[in-house]
Homo-oligomer: A and B are copies of this chain.
């Protein structure tokens, strides 16, 4: 393995801006019991699912219950030039929530109302703390659903802020395509709306898409208007296993190139299937697995499934198992979604360093296979899952957080993988965002000029640099 001369992952550059006692007093006065400075609460809000070693937690946590609460908290922090870090459910993977420059965590999880269900228009408007599962539970009776499923039961505000996607994106798109409009509290504490409920618009700059994926660095999302979809008349899921990753991936590539409107197609490599079996006491065949789902009319689902089955057979796919009842499907998808936890529990005390590259579909096999070879050679334990229909996959290198050597090896693997993906005209981050972890990679991918433009936008909208500072790019 040719280790790069430097990895892109130094530990975060800490530049705390202490909150003056006057700010804490003003917050206390305004928010009373909605403010917490308890150590445990602060610590819970100062970390996420990333593998960064501990950074000092935020100095306080404000539990916002309304847009006005958010606006007032931001205005007070602006007055004292103290950072504000929006917080949903804490499921970020890239260090988004860490208080690298100190500041206040602004927890919006209590803003958890579904404000409007416009079933006839296939739209909903929610507060940012509503989670995707909560939303689907609340709209179930309408026969509609929100498809974006990143695995974790993330908040919809957080999903918008990181431009999340997940297993259904191959058919339904990502948060980029499914957020119609936002309400946002700006860095000045003003409230704006970024769009309407029309399906399309050419009216002015696309502020919605500017905030989707801005990772809390431009403002705080306080409402999200989303597209929802009719529950498909028929749903069918299937698993199929392959002796080689190449066969599995080539099945996917051909499916996408043929334009089959597959709803989900996930890769789980054989080692990860074994971890899932142990964790969930399942007996899945421990080959490289594709987990697929088809949505549509009964005839269309049958037709899609037959097409993909034919393609899979051409690539030596075997052990096709169908799951046509909701219970069977839930069992399969739960296994998929638990892959991360199954993997982490396979090595007690470990942390996972996740990769998130996404490449054009024609390069998926090359990118994946070379990276598997490198990971195998490194000696690290890892899991491998992928939203392969989009060209997106995740290695999770399972490291002993106290081993500098293992961390360096994992970061070097990640670095090589990202360099490969960028050379293939792909991206360092398909869906997790940049956060702290991919700041260096963003420059590699987008170039200094594009990052300079992002920096200009940030400085224009947040001249005091209070909105989640120290993330996405260095100022």
Contacts and interface: CB of A to CB of B under 8 A. Distances in A.
Interface of A: 118, 120-123, 162-165, 169, 173-174, 176-177, 186, 190-207, 209-210, 212-214, 218, 229-230, 232, 253, 256-259, 261, 296-297, 299-300, 303, 356, 358-363, 390-392, 421-422, 425-434, 438, 441-442, 445-447, 449-451, 453-454, 456-461, 472-473
Given A204-B451, A457-B457, A196 B445 contact: yes
A303 B459 CA distance: 53
A456 B450 contact: no
Nearest to A121: B360
A88 to B, nearest CB: 15
A118 B209 CA distance: 26
A361 B199 contact: yes
Interface centre among A165, A202, A473 (most CB of B within 10 A): A202
Given A209-B210, A299-B303, A460-B460, A192 B447 contact: yes
A461 B458 CA distance: 11
Contact of A198 (B164, B191, B426): B426
Interface centre among A212, A361, A422, A453 (most CB of B within 10 A): A453
Contacts of A203: 427-429, 433-434, 438, 441-442, 445-446
Nearest to A426: B198
A68 B397 CA distance: 44
A202 B162 contact: yes
A213 B207 contact: no
Contacts of A253: 120
A123 B441 CA distance: 24
Contacts of A438: 203
- Which are the 7 A-B pairs with shortest beta-carbon distances? A209-B209, A460-B460, A230-B259, A120-B362, A121-B360, A201-B427, A192-B449
A449 B151 CA distance: 35
B391 A199 contact: yes
Copies in the complex: 2
A198 B360 contact: yes
Given A193-B450, A427-B196, A202 B300 contact: no
Given A186-B453, A198-B392, 8 more contacts: A122-B256, A193-B446, A196-B426, A201-B427, A204-B454, A205-B218, A299-B303, A300-B303
Contact of A450 (B194, B391, B453): B194
A447 to B, nearest CB: 6
Given A118-B360, A206-B163, A230-B257, A200 B460 contact: no
A160 B445 CA distance: 22
A270 to B, nearest CB: 26
Contacts of A207: 446, 450, 453-454
B186 A177 contact: no
A429 B432 CA distance: 33
A259 B173 CA distance: 16
Contact of A196 (B121, B425, B459): B425
B473 A198 contact: no
A176 B209 contact: yes
A419 B186 CA distance: 26
Interface centre among A123, A431, A445, A458 (most CB of B within 10 A): A445
Interface centre among A198, A253, A441 (most CB of B within 10 A): A198
28 contacts: A120-B257, A122-B256, A163-B201, A174-B200, A176-B206, A191-B449, A193-B446, A195-B427, A197-B360, A197-B425, A198-B358, A198-B427, A201-B358, A201-B429, A202-B430, A202-B432, A202-B433, A204-B446, A205-B214, A207-B446, A210-B457, A230-B257, A230-B258, A232-B259, A261-B261, A456-B461, A457-B457, A460-B460
